[in-house]
Chain A
Amino acid sequence: MAKIRSEFDTLVHALAPELFRYAMGLCHNPHTAEDLVQETFLRGWRSRTDLRDSKAAKAWLYTILRNEHARLYERQRPEACDPSMLPDIPDHGYDTSAEAFVLRRALATLQADYRDPLLLQVIGGFSCREIGDILELNTNTVLTRLFRARKALRDLLTDDLQQEASL
């Protein structure tokens, strides 16, 4: 049991930060994100025997977090889902520039089908095949969604930055 405990702690320390980033990408609220991360690991701990393979564990934890977020979203629409209501996040290292604000708003506006694979690629560093496994999509669909996500972001950012410039 002590060995499993120690392996679990190692996993928590290695993956908690990036899972938090992923949660932030989904819910845009640091408190909700922390709750999501905690719940994800607790669920993982309850099924700890499945966590022995750390490579598989990472994808599995991302899946749990995504499902937890979906469940939370079903129960209550988090207020932060409205991009205009995005909270100020006082964490150090957080980019507060206008460009960052525009980019965050664009990401929040992005349709979930496009945002999910993008976050998994950018934050989780997953390959298209791994993203397909997590989202239960085939690789071609993942490629299409990544393409559309970036194209949509590009369009949104171009519009927003033009508006910012015109102010």
Chain B
Amino acid sequence: MNCLDFRRRLLTDPLSGDEDLLSHEATCTTCAPFARDLRAREIRMRSLLQNVVPPPGLAERVSLAARFQQRAERRRQWWYSAAAGVLLAVGVSMASLFSTSIERTNVALAQSVINHIEDEASHLRAAHPIPTTRVNGVFERFGAELAADIGPVHFAAECLMRQRNGVHLVMPGRMGPVTVFFMPGEMADTTMPVASARFNGEIVPTHWGSIAVVGEAGEAVDGLGERLAAAVRWPDPVQAGVSVPVVGELLAAGLVTQQKNG
């Protein structure tokens, strides 16, 4: 080890007991005083830094602060748990309420369809096709139009279904008359059955509302709703700016009488 190495290594740790360092120091008269001076300074520096006395009670204050923090954590955890419990309860209630509400709505819509047909059973007796222009005239009131032939229609009128107006058609079916309701704004998530002792059918969702297709028991209505939906070009209520008229407006305009004439 030369003097440069010795000094370099000693400066990284002056109190090192490394044998190489000690043996160089013992044999080098130039480095020995340097080492003694460096060690003396190191001891003074260490003494200065290590003699700093911490304020009395520091450890106790730290422990106490940690205890307070622990209590705060527990309290916070309790509140989080309580809040989570409340949120869960509210969530479950809302979900239950929502699903019940959907169920009720669906049941109510299907029942309204049946009631409407039964209340206006006289339309089921219409036996002759009406002109397509007349059918189109009813759709035009909603900004809709027939885009394809939907077959013979025996009755067509604007009618009130629950709180909204729609189009009421009666068409011939295999088992008897088939009633079709175009119900804008009556949004349905999925196809729903409509059934009673006499009638059988379904409510088919569309992007603008839904279509109810109901025939006599045993009537095959599968797919009819979808075909009718495709055959009628119905404006998007938002895009077209066409709002579904509510009963008050139509009554005022004399265009409809509540469910009396369909």
Contacts and interface: CB of A to CB of B under 8 A. Distances in A.
B61 interface: yes
Given A17-B54, A20-B54, A30-B55, A100 B48 contact: yes
B62 A153 contact: no
A91 interface: yes
B1 interface: no
Contacts of B166: none
Contacts of A99: 44
A12 B63 contact: yes
B53 A146 contact: no
B23 interface: no
Nearest to B45: A103
Contacts of A103: 44-45, 48
Given A21-B50, A94-B53, A122-B49, A45 B70 contact: yes
Contact of A94 (B38, B51, B69): B51
Q: For the complex, would chain B's binding face be called helix, strand, loop or mixed by DSSP majority?
A: helix
Closest 4 CB pairs of A and B: A20-B54, A16-B59, A93-B53, A146-B12
Interface residues of A, number: 43
A85 to B, nearest CB: 18
Given A9-B63, A42-B69, A154-B41, A34 B58 contact: yes
Nearest to A127: B13
B44 A37 contact: no
8 contacts: A8-B66, A12-B59, A12-B66, A42-B69, A45-B69, A45-B70, A103-B44, A146-B12
Given A94-B53, A122-B45, A12 B62 contact: yes
Interface of A: 5, 8-9, 12-13, 16-17, 20-21, 24-25, 30, 34, 37-38, 41-42, 45-46, 89, 91-95, 99-100, 103-104, 107, 119, 121-123, 128, 143, 146-147, 150-151, 153-154, 157
A155 B47 CA distance: 20
Contacts of B44: 99, 103
Contacts of B66: 8, 12, 41-42, 45
A143 B52 CA distance: 26
A46 B69 contact: yes
A50 B243 CA distance: 64
